[in-house]
Amino acid sequence: MPRSDETKRETQSESHPLSTLFEPRSIALVGASEKSVWSHFILRNYADFGYTGKVFAVNRNGAAVYGIAGFTNCRSIGESVDVAFIFVPQSAVIEALEDAAAAGIRHAVILSSGYSETGPAGAAAQQELLASAAKLGVRVWGPNSLGFNNLSARAPVSAIPAVLPILPPSIAIVSQSGATAAELYEFAHSQNIGTSFVAATGNEGDVTLSDVLDYLVDHAATKAIAIFAESIRDPEAFAAAAERARAKTKPIVILKIGRSALASAVAKAHTGSLVGDDRVFSAICERLGIIRVHSTEDLINVAGLLASTGPLRHPGFCFMSISGGACTLVADGAEGNGVELPPFDETTQRALAEVLPDFGSKLNPLDVTGAAIRDPSLFERILPIVAAAPGIGLVAVSMTIPTTPGQGLPAALEAIGRALQIIDAPVVMAQTCVKALNDVSRQAIEAHRLPFVITGIDPMLRAVGKASWWSKRLGRPAKPLLLGQPPIAPRPLSTERAVLDYLAQSGVAVIPGKVVRSRKEAAEFANSLHESLVLKISSPDIAHKTEVGGVRLNVARAEVPDVYDSIMTQVAHARPDAAIDGVIISPMRSGGGVELLVGVTNDATWGPTIGIGFGGVMVEVLADVSIAPLPVDREEVIEMLLRLRGAKLLQGFRGAAAANLAAVADSIVNIGNAAIKLGPSVASLEVNPLLVRGDRVEALDGLVIWNENERTHV
Amino acid sequence: MPRSDETKRETQSESHPLSTLFEPRSIALVGASEKSVWSHFILRNYADFGYTGKVFAVNRNGAAVYGIAGFTNCRSIGESVDVAFIFVPQSAVIEALEDAAAAGIRHAVILSSGYSETGPAGAAAQQELLASAAKLGVRVWGPNSLGFNNLSARAPVSAIPAVLPILPPSIAIVSQSGATAAELYEFAHSQNIGTSFVAATGNEGDVTLSDVLDYLVDHAATKAIAIFAESIRDPEAFAAAAERARAKTKPIVILKIGRSALASAVAKAHTGSLVGDDRVFSAICERLGIIRVHSTEDLINVAGLLASTGPLRHPGFCFMSISGGACTLVADGAEGNGVELPPFDETTQRALAEVLPDFGSKLNPLDVTGAAIRDPSLFERILPIVAAAPGIGLVAVSMTIPTTPGQGLPAALEAIGRALQIIDAPVVMAQTCVKALNDVSRQAIEAHRLPFVITGIDPMLRAVGKASWWSKRLGRPAKPLLLGQPPIAPRPLSTERAVLDYLAQSGVAVIPGKVVRSRKEAAEFANSLHESLVLKISSPDIAHKTEVGGVRLNVARAEVPDVYDSIMTQVAHARPDAAIDGVIISPMRSGGGVELLVGVTNDATWGPTIGIGFGGVMVEVLADVSIAPLPVDREEVIEMLLRLRGAKLLQGFRGAAAANLAAVADSIVNIGNAAIKLGPSVASLEVNPLLVRGDRVEALDGLVIWNENERTHV
């Protein structure tokens, strides 16, 4: 039945510019043939998903394919078509695109491969393809993509096979890899997690995963979004969509691969070891409220859990089981996964004691022992008590879900199902080991009105920890990332003292000091100070001052003139070529305190990023660094400091005064802001050390390196 | 058919004292009744497993149960019975045991509960039960145990339900928890891993998991042993069985729970934080060559993998897939799991280039791309090449194993199966996500002669890392643990100097020094040294010397007499009660080097244990400590040092001389041996610091604490 574009548009979602692509009413399958494996997979989907739109087969002979009417080209279809799904050989793709455009088709999904994934020649072919598409006014999904299945609209444009039965929609799966999209979708199904949308974005020549993400934020059937990605091509769009998702309390979970490759691409800047690696992406996720995971199973489990529970109102988790072993496994694994198991308050314990008089302890995790097998009504009486306990945001109750007929204890499942009818708080079911839930399981779940089931103690704890983190993070809008900022002219921060003076102007407490240029000036300035002193050569040309005899520590006031002369002589001897600015005189800081290292670098993708670590062994041997995108605020910096493995050092280690965390944080916030003001042409700004002694926070040395490798001071 | 005891014994395995229990020819089910849930589970097993021995039902009425002949007691059976399986109410257990003994039954498996698992009253009841059994000459399995299924003998004495179909035997599962035993067995089945023996040892009143382990070492059908345990009751038997297993190259994998509870039981000794926790058990596993895991899934996966591959001849792993995403996931996760992915040598690369001319890189992991879909014979040509590559001990090839009919690519599976027929090295199959392998999967595996399948990239990497560790460890016999050593009379190591002198006798280089008792003696000794000095009060009564003015650093020779007087005066004033031994004079050590802390403690279960860490922040803030049971040798100590997170500090950090690891290790070996010679009544011996400067290793301070809390020196 031909429809006019107008009628069609009225009934489609108008909310998204790509809704015609994502919710197609009619699809031309360009390259369809009964001889092709791809055609087989693609066409079977229309029956399996129950697509209600129109499908046309396009091939050289205009032959019908598996009963679908055939046409020699798109123009001859004679009806409005929303999407051309192109899987002809590479050599015929542009011709197919031109035909589609001529037929008025504005969207193409291109499965054909041989493009940027194969190397430079392929990349050139992709450029040519995209240029053609742009000229023709056709948006392109792919190439080298298995397409997408919009399951909630029952609209497949994809070679990802349907997994049957189709479950009620819950999570969306977006993957750059097609094989992985199919595998994630299948794994979700095995966990009884319904998929609302599954997409393989392939080479992302035009439409990217950020576009899909943006669409899914408003996709009603999608309760959570799971992303499998190797690279984020458009960080601004990605960040914007993520922030919209946060505001709508729709969780995003991401498995970003290529960690190891990224880690080996060592950044060139001095402070590269601090931030020039994959940890920047983790910091971005932290900022954007995106849950980062590292396994395919976690990706699906976390999305599935949060799709089922929504944000958790309290961080506390309660686990109950008839198996003491399972309870101990949960107790063992909780802390490492960030799962809080709050002990029950007295009211809860009293209420439990009435139901379970013979129990010695009313601990969380709660071992209800075999008593609950003999008397399943215990579940009905216990669940409401623990679900109402203060601080508990999620309860998991462990009881076998059958996978073969006759397995498990139906009376216990029935009791759990009944209990859930009167409970408000989220309850899920747990299984000790990972298992695949099948039709038998689904029958039991439906019969007993059971909630979401998460299988495996370890996967459960990881998912609960992530869900809890996300729920806490949710209320905090993400500060916008500083992407695409205009360049600012470099300031001449050519010496240590110039950098420190610049930081001082930005509100950072810095060590006093002065560059002196004569023996006399040195003596005069030294006499104005009341401590023992440090003298250092000041030269834009000298990177390693100690090696040329340019540093003297612990100098008494009276010795200053001689030491001044000695430094000037030694440096002139060692580096006759260097331009000498003078000698910096500062007070000597000794006698304790904690040294921090604060470094800002500009990440090529994500913009300016700040790294904080403890000086010395902690950062150099252990790479113990907290990272965040700039700007940062006091609260965030305190969190970053406390996340360091050496955080104890700030809390009054070995009788030292505890650091004033707010003062330290304010200093670091100001360093970050000073770096931002230098603009994107600063490669790095580093303060090393930032000395902390109780309430006193003081930058002792500063260094700025510009992108042009203009080394302005060491 | 009645058999004489003699005939029976002849055909049974005589190798193990408990073989009659583990391989019963006849079983009396005491408490069997058609009304009992337990009876239902227990009896169904005889049909499900196809037990060929004799079964008798014993109950008050002598009623037949589900067609099994009934008797009112064991004595009236009138035939020889190997095992009485007792599941009567607790109050009737001892009577049942007496009846069984009177019938000549020597082994009882007791399911009945209400014993030590319930508290002190139950523990008393268990003592009574065990005393009766001992008097009657009956060995007891349990109580509070679900029993065992000896699957390879098709002999169930258990309420753990059979999981069908029964798979070819491969791994044994031994669990203290019954519910967990059943769940592990079911999970193994879902991974197509056959179980040879599944045991729930319950309260282990008599027969322990170490007994079962000892039996399984010689159980031919068992290729690997998976243990789920909360506590090891008989460490000597456990260690002996583990060493027998290692000698027979039979892997043991253990999930020992209660980590968190143990961690909270902080040891009382000074160095308790070093070794008084769950890490001791990890060190014991390391010593015994036992693989320790922390999830139920890993427990089964590792056992299943090693049961299939046996020891790996090389540590290198090769992964190949048509999915670049899967390859990147493997690359990302390898290092963290201890998996080596050696690059291919030139010969291998050339051979691959002939098969895959269009590929740019011949990396490991090897992405064979969709080319292998179009041409499955690629698998046949590639697999032999990578399997023969130098350093590769295990190859995993990823390709979908179907779980529903019609899924996957049979041609690819067929090609893989064909390739395996001509390959010698171990090859397994991988799946991107965890999945349950079912009958459809098994049909495909059988049809295509496919090898072991491990599901999920992450679980695969964890299992491969563990398998590789075990294979490397296998050739090293475990030194016996020092358990049950006779006590040795404490030596009077009452002061720092006495401890150092004792260490020096044991071959440890210690700082020179002398206890002086007068101003004159102080001056004389100081004049014999050529450095600046340290003076410290020597008193068995003073724990914290600095606090009482008892320590002076950096003392010049000329100042020694005055400083001596000053210390004596200050200490006498601060601690008039203390017995004063004199003042220790030693050279001052300053100017670099690395400080180690070496502590020996006696673990209540596992005997003397040595802990090594870096002094200062690394051990106090990060608890960065390597632990091993004593004795240790040079090679082990070097491994322990290199395992420290701060190991870099020994390798010439910041221009310092690299530590002579052999010299450091020898020093630590000697400290360990010195501690051993003090016997089990030493609570701790600590050297802090052990100063390392290149080749020079020197103990600067030593402390011994005796078990009686006799603090002999600080």
Kindly give the interhelix angle for B346-355 and B377-387, rounded to the nearest 10 degrees. 170
Residue B9 has what pLDDT?
39
pLDDT of amino acid B490: 62
The whole-number average pLDDT for the span A693-700 is 94
Contacts with A360 from chain B: Cβ below 8 Å: 119
Residue type, B84: A
One domain, residues B416 and B428: yes
> CA Rg, chain B, in Å?
32
The continuous run of DSSP H or E covering A224 comes out as strand A224-229
What confidence tier does A463 reach under pLDDT thresholds 50, 70, 90?
A: very high
The answer to whether position A496 is within a domain reads no
Tell me the per-residue pLDDT of A516-561, one tens digit each, with 9 for 90 and over: 999 999 999 998 887 789 999 998 888 778 888 899 988 888 899 9
Judged against a pLDDT cut of 50, whether residue B271 lies above it is answered with no
Judgement on whether residues A607 and A653 belong to the same structural domain of the protein: yes
Does a structural domain hold residue A292?
A: yes
C-alpha B147/C-alpha B86 separation (Å) is 10
Q: Note if the bond before A165 is cis, omega within 30 degrees.
A: yes
The residues facing B697 across adjacent strands are: B692
Which of B538, B520, B641 lies closest to B582 in space, CA to CA? B538
Residue A433 near residue B296 (C-beta atoms within 8 A): yes
Same domain, A403 and A318: yes
Asked whether the beta carbons of residue B621 and residue A333 sit closer than 8 angstroms, the reply is no
Contacts of A590 (CB under 8 A, 6+ apart): A554
Indicate the average pLDDT of chain A.
90
The answer to whether the beta carbons of residues A690 and A697 sit under 8 Å apart is yes
Q: Is the pLDDT of residue A343 over 50?
A: yes
| B585 touches B621 (CB < 8 A) | no
CB burial of A526-558 (b: ≥16 within 10 Å; e: otherwise) equals beebeebbbbbbbbbebeebeebbbebeebeee
pLDDT band at A487 (very low <50, low <70, confident <90, very high): low
Alpha-carbon span B201 to B246, nearest angstrom: 23
Instruction: Tell me: pLDDT of B317 over 50.
Output: yes
Which stretch of B19-28, B139-148, B294-303, B402-411 has the lowest confidence by average pLDDT? B402-411
- How far is A436 from chain B, CA to nearest CA, in Å? 6
Examine the pLDDT at B51 and tell me if it is beyond 50: yes
d(CA B684, CA A244): 59
- pLDDT score, position A639: 95
The Cα B74–Cα B136 span in angstroms is 15
Residue A381 lies in a domain: yes
With beta carbons under 8 A apart, name residues in chain A contacting B186.
433, 435
- A44 CB neighbours in chain B (<8 A) are none
* CA of B521 vs chain A CAs: smallest distance (Å): 34
Does the structure show a pLDDT above 60 at B5? no
- With beta carbons under 8 A apart, name residues in chain A contacting B654: 620
Q: Do B296 and A332 touch (CB under 8 A)?
A: no
- Give the model's pLDDT for residue A155: 97
Are residues A325 and B646, on separate chains, in Cβ contact within 8 Å? no
Distance from CA of A144 to the nearest CA of B (A): 11
Q: Are strands B54-58 and B26-30 parallel, antiparallel or unpaired?
A: parallel
Calculate Rg over the CA atoms of chain A. 32
Whether residues B211 and B291 fall in one domain: yes
CATH of the domain at B107: 3.40.50.720
User: Quick check: A325 and B179 CB within 8 A?
Assistant: yes
pLDDT tens digits, one per residue of B89-111: 999 999 999 999 999 999 999 99
**Other C-beta atoms lying within 10 Å of the C-beta of residue B139:** 18
- Cα B191 from Cα B183, distance rounded (Å): 12
Residues 6+ apart with CB under 8 A from B536: B496, B545, B550, B551, B552, B567, B583, B584, B586
Average pLDDT of span A5-15: 46
Q: Residue A49: its pLDDT value, please? A: 96
Cis peptide preceding B512, ω within 30 of 0: no
Query: For residue A411, how many C-alpha atoms fall within 13 Å in the half-sphere facing its CB?
Result: 8
* Mean pLDDT value across residues A86-115: 96
Q: How far apart are CA A64 and CA A91, in angstroms?
A: 23
Residue, of A169 and A489, whose pLDDT is higher: A169
Mutate one of A40, A90, A260 to test the B interface: name it (highest B CB count within 10 A). A260
Rounded CA separation A117/B328 (Å): 14
How many contacts (CB atoms, under 8 Å) link A and B?
Answer: 169
Residues B347 and B464 occupy one common structural domain: yes
User: What is residue A453's three-state secondary structure?
Assistant: strand
- Total structural domains in chain B? 5
**pLDDT value of residue B38:** 84
A176 — phi, psi (to 5°)? -75, -30
Contacts of B441 in chain A (CB under 8 A): none
Residue linked to tokens 């529903």:
B404
Average pLDDT over all residues of chain B: 90
Nearest to B436 among A323, A436, A457 (CB): A436
CA distance B259 to chain A (A): 6
Q: Assess contact for B559 and B544: CB atoms under 8 A.
A: no
The Cα–Cα gap between B631 and B464 comes to: 30
pLDDT tens string B625-640: 999 999 999 999 999 9
Q: Which two tokens stand for residue A648?
A: 């104890």
Banded model confidence at residue A273, pLDDT cuts 50, 70, 90:
very low
Q: Which amino acid is at B280?
A: V
pLDDT of residue B47: 95
∠ Cα B703 B709 B714 (to 5°): 25
What are the pLDDT digits (tens) for A352-402? 999 886 655 678 999 887 778 888 999 999 999 999 999 999 999 999 999
Instruction: Please report, for the domain that includes residue A419, its CATH number.
Output: 3.40.50.261
pLDDT at B335 over 70: yes
Q: What is the pLDDT of residue A119?
A: 81
For B518, phi then psi, to 5°, come to -155, 160
Q: With CA atoms as reference, report the closest residue to A154 among A46, A234, A59, A81.
A: A46
B75, part of any domain: yes
Q: Which amino acid is at B382?
A: I
Write the DSSP string, A358-421: T-S---SSEE-TTHHHH-THHHHHHHHHHHTSTTEEEEEEE-PPPSSTT-S-HHHHHHHHHHHT
Record: contact A180-B326, CB cut-off 8 A: yes
Confidence of residue B274 (pLDDT cuts 50, 70, 90): very low
Domain boundary among A309, A325, A357: A309
Please list the residues that pair with A702 across neighbouring strands. Answer: A687
Spatial distance between the Cα atoms of B600 and B670, rounded to a whole number of angstroms: 12
Interface confidence (ipTM) of the complex: 0.90
Contact B90, B125 (CB under 8 A): yes
How many residues make up chain B in this entry?
Answer: 714
Tell me if B230 and A261 make a contact (CB, 8 A cut-off). Answer: no
Residue bearing the bigger pLDDT, B297 or A714: B297
Please give the backbone phi and psi of residue A640, each rounded to the nearest 5 degrees, phi first: -65, -40
Out of B293, B309, B325, a domain closes at B309
Tell me, yes or no, whether A215 and A89 share the same domain: no
Identify whether residues A70 and A167 lie together within a single domain. Answer: no
Strand order in the sheet with A26-30: A70-71, A54-58, A26-30, A83-86, A107-110, A139-141
Q: In A439-574, where does DSSP find H-type helix? A: 439-447, 457-473, 496-505, 519-527, 560-574
Question: In whole angstroms, what is the distance from residue A498 CA to residue A704 CA?
Answer: 10
- What pLDDT score was predicted for residue A357? 67
CB-CB under 8 Å, A646 with B617: yes
Q: Region B483-510: what's the mean pLDDT?
A: 83
CATH number at residue B698: 3.30.470.20
Cβ-based contacts of A113 with chain B (< 8 Å):
370
Helix or strand run (H / E) with residue A600: strand A594-603
Q: Are residues B365 and B429 in the same domain?
A: yes
Q: State the helix-helix crossing angle for B324-334 and A178-190, rounded to 10 degrees.
A: 80
When pLDDT is averaged across residues A80-87 and rounded to a whole number, the result is: 97
A636 and A521: one domain? Answer: no
B436·A432 Cβ contact <8 A? no
Percent of chain B that is helix, strand, coil (3-state, to 5): 40, 20, 40
Q: What is the spatial distance between Cα A625 and Cα A643, in angstroms, rounded to a whole number?
A: 9
Dihedral pair phi/psi, residue A63, rounded to 5°:
-80, 145
Question: The domain containing residue A305 runs over which residues?
Answer: 163-309
Q: Model confidence at B408, in pLDDT bands (50, 70, 90)?
A: confident
In a domain, A505, yes or no: no
Same-domain pairing of B352 and B225? no
Q: What is the pLDDT of residue B1?
A: 39
- Same-domain status, A15 and A94: yes
State residue A7's pLDDT score. Answer: 41
- What whole-number distance in Å separates Cα of residue A146 and Cα of residue A109? 9
Q: B183 contacts in A (CB within 8 Å)?
A: 400, 431-433
Establish if A488 belongs to a structural domain: no
Please indicate, yes or no, if residue B443 is contained in any of the structural domains.
Answer: yes
pLDDT in tens, A659-691: 999 999 999 999 999 999 988 888 889 999 999
Nearest Cα to A161, choosing from A49, A31, A27, A53? A49
pTM for the model: 0.92
Mutate to test the interface with A, among B175, B183, B369 (most CBs of A within 10 A): B183
State the average pLDDT over residues A216-239.
Answer: 95
Q: What is the mean pLDDT of residues B131-145?
A: 97
- Residue A265's pLDDT band, with cuts at 50, 70 and 90, is very low
Write the pLDDT tens digit of every residue in B585-602.
999 887 678 999 999 998
Residues B625 and B665 in one domain: yes
pLDDT at A269 exceeding the cut of 70: no
For residue B329, give the nearest of A257, A326, A436 by CB distance: A257
Query: How close A236 comes to chain B (CA, Å)?
Result: 24
CB B333 within 8 Å of CB B396? no
Helix, strand, coil percent content, chain A, rounded in steps of 5? 40, 20, 40
Domain end residue (candidates: A113, A143, A173): A143
A402: closest CA of chain B, how far (Å): 11
Instruction: Indicate whether A501 belongs to any domain.
Output: no
Model confidence at A654, pLDDT cuts 50, 70, 90, reads: confident
Rounded to a whole number, what is the distance in Å from the CA of B102 to chain A's nearest CA?
32
CA–CA separation, B508 and B501 (whole Å): 9
